């Protein structure tokens, strides 16, 4: 069921407009996650307008190396791709966000005719698309607001070559089984003879990782707590975000950075009519960010039916990009 199908709607008598009251999938996910022994919230719910803005700020932080490292790698990747992608092509970006990373590709690859960015945050996507269309007036930009965790129905491709683009190591926010199923769904969405260019963060010193997820300005902490503000606003809960501390660490056994919100006191929160009790020091697990060695990632991609065509490693192996091919 799509989230649009599971909304409660209200008819505003003064404007005549029909507007959504509440996303029932969101409510259901939140209540289910908070009822688990290790309370958890799905990281995709970080990205309301405010959360997307915080994430943009994180990307500008000196500590958050994945963003700038990948951005510095992309012109080199794009130059090589320009030699491979010679006939008209469509690029489909999964989780498009602010549309910054597509620009090195659009600048270097003349054969890109159509661009289909997919993102869960409609307002953010619309604003980014308007700017991109101004910068690249000849490009056909066709945004799709959808949850790309599931197969997505796309506008017509024609006979163009299809290239998926999934930068930013967003795949790291899925557990390995979900990552494999995303890769399978992407193969389905893109179809036979397509390719996928994907950016994936590498395993590295925990000291480096700790700094990236615990920035000195506390922006990542605000990003993390904002999920509670969103639940308050959209589900009528009464979290006091200031009663929860940001906690992020590298879990070496699992190969992932974990983010949590730790309750600073014993407290009871009303969420959508349910009383949710917290012990002092109890956490809500809000995000995983898995890191992969090149061997681990290539194995994952192959298990989802992709062939690995090319691997690029950034300076000091801080980040990797892979070109995968769907044999059909
Ligand atoms: C979007 N995603 C790849 C980011 C990450 O690194 O896992 C989200 C993020 N969380 C904290 N900082 C950035």
pLDDT on residue 7: 53
pLDDT at 13: 45
111 dihedral zone (left: phi>0; alpha: psi -120 to 50; beta):
alpha
Structural contact between residues 130 and 103, judged by C-beta atoms closer than 8 angstroms? no
Query: Rounded to 5 degrees, what angle do the CA atoms 225, 69, 202 make?
Result: 75
- Distance between CA 13 and CA 33 in Å, rounded? 35
Whether the CB-CB separation of 132 and 99 falls below 8 Å is answered with yes
The conformational region for residue 212 under phi > 0 = left, psi -120 to 50 = alpha, else beta, is alpha
Q: Tell me if 74 is assigned to some domain.
A: yes
Domain count along the chain = 1
The answer as to whether 18 is a domain residue is: no
CA distance linking residue 318 with residue 58, whole number of Å:
17
- For 248-303, how does the pLDDT look when each residue is reduced to its tens digit (9 = 90+)? 999 999 999 999 999 999 999 999 899 999 999 999 999 999 999 999 999 999 99
Confidence band of 22 (pLDDT split at 50, 70, 90): low
Give the model's confidence band at 220: pLDDT under 50 very low, under 70 low, under 90 confident, else very high: very high
pLDDT in tens, 175-188: 999 999 999 999 99
pLDDT of 191 over the 60 cut: yes
- pLDDT grade for 2, boundaries at 50, 70 and 90: very low
> For residue 212, is it within any domain?
no
Is 162 part of a structural domain of the chain? yes
What pLDDT score does 6 carry?
A: 54
Structure tokens at 36: 């688990």
- Cα–Cα distance, 162 to 65 (Å, whole number): 29
Q: Report how far residue 1's alpha carbon sits from residue 102's, in angstroms, rounded to the nearest whole number.
A: 30
Name residue, tokens 């949590």.
260
| CATH code: domain of residue 307 | 3.40.50.150
How far is the centre of ligand 1, averaged over its atoms, from the C-alpha of 169 (Å)? 8
Q: How far is the CA of 123 from the centre of ligand 1 (A)?
A: 20
**Which atom of ligand 1 is nearest to 55's Cα?**
13
Domain housing 138: 65-145+157-204+293-325
Any ligand 1 atom below 6 A from CB of 170:
yes
Q: Find the radius of gyration of the CA atoms of the chain.
A: 20
Ligand 1 atom 7: residue of nearest CA: 289
Q: Is 172 in the pocket of ligand 1 (CB under 6 A)?
A: yes
Pocket test for ligand 1, best of 55, 149, 208, 217 (most atoms within 8 A of CB): 55
- Per residue in 56-100, pLDDT tens? 999 999 999 999 999 999 999 999 999 999 899 999 999 877 899
pLDDT tens per residue, range 112-151: 999 999 987 777 788 889 999 999 999 999 999 888 888 8
Whether 94 is in a domain gets the answer yes
pLDDT at res. 223: 98
**Distances from the Cα of 82 to the Cα of 10, 40, 71, 78, 183, angstroms:** 49, 43, 17, 6, 24
The span from the CA of 247 to the CA of 230, in Å, is 19
- Compute the C-alpha angle 131/134/135, nearest 5°: 90
Q: Are 2 and 23 in contact (CB under 8 A)?
A: no
Atom 2 in ligand 1: residue holding the nearest Cα:
170
Judged against a pLDDT cut of 90, whether residue 225 lies above it is answered with yes
Residue 14 reports pLDDT greater than 60 = no
User: Which residue's entry shows tokens 């917290």?
Assistant: 278
Crossing angle for the helix pair 49-59 and 122-135, nearest 10 degrees?
50
162 CA to middle of ligand 1, Å?
27
- For atom 9 of ligand 1, the residue with the nearest CA is 55
| 178: in domain | yes
Q: How far is the CA of 109 from the centre of ligand 1 (A)?
A: 28
- 190 falls within a domain: yes
Please measure the distance between the N-terminal and C-terminal CA atoms of the chain and give it in whole angstroms: 28
284 located within any domain: no
- Give the pLDDT score at 21: 55
Ligand 1 atom nearest 212 alpha carbon: 12
């Amino acid at each position: 069921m799509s989230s649009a199908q599971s909304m409660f709607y209200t008819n505003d008598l003064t404007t005549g407009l029909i507007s959504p009251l509440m996303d029932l999938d969101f409510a259901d996910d939140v209540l289910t996650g908070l009822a688990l022994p290790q309370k958890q919230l799905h990281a995709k719910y970080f990205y309301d307008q405010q959360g997307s803005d915080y994430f943009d700020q994180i990307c500008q932080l000196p500590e958050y190396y994945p963003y700038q490292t990948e951005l510095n790698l992309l012109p080199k990747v794009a130059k090589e791709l320009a030699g491979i992608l010679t006939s008209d092509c469509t690029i489909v970006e999964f989780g498009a966000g602010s549309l910054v990373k597509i620009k090195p590709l659009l600048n270097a690859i003349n054969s890109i005719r159509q661009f289909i960015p997919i993102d869960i945050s409609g307002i953010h996507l619309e604003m980014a698309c308007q700017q991109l269309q101004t910068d690249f007036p000849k490009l056909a930009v066709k945004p799709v607001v959808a949850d790309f965790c599931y197969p997505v129905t796309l506008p017509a491709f024609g006979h163009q070559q299809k290239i998926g683009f999934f930068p930013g190591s967003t795949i790291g926010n899925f557990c390995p089984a979900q990552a494999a199923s995303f890769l399978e769904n992407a193969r389905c969405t893109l179809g036979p003879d397509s390719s996928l260019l994907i950016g994936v963060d590498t395993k590295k010193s925990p000291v480096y990782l700790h700094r990236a997820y615990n920035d000195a300005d506390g922006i990542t902490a605000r990003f993390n707590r904002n999920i509670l503000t969103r639940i308050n606003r959209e589900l009528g809960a009464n979290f006091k975000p200031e009663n929860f501390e940001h906690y992020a660490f590298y879990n070496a056994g699992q190969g992932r950075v974990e983010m949590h919100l730790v309750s600073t006191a014993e407290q009871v929160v009303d969420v959508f009519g349910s009383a949710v009790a917290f012990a002092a020091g109890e956490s809500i697990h809000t995000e995983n960010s898995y890191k992969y060695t090149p061997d681990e990632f290539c194995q994952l991609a192959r298990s989802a039916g992709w062939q690995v065509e090319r691997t690029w490693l950034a300076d000091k192996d801080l980040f990797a990009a892979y070109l995968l091919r769907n044999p059909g």
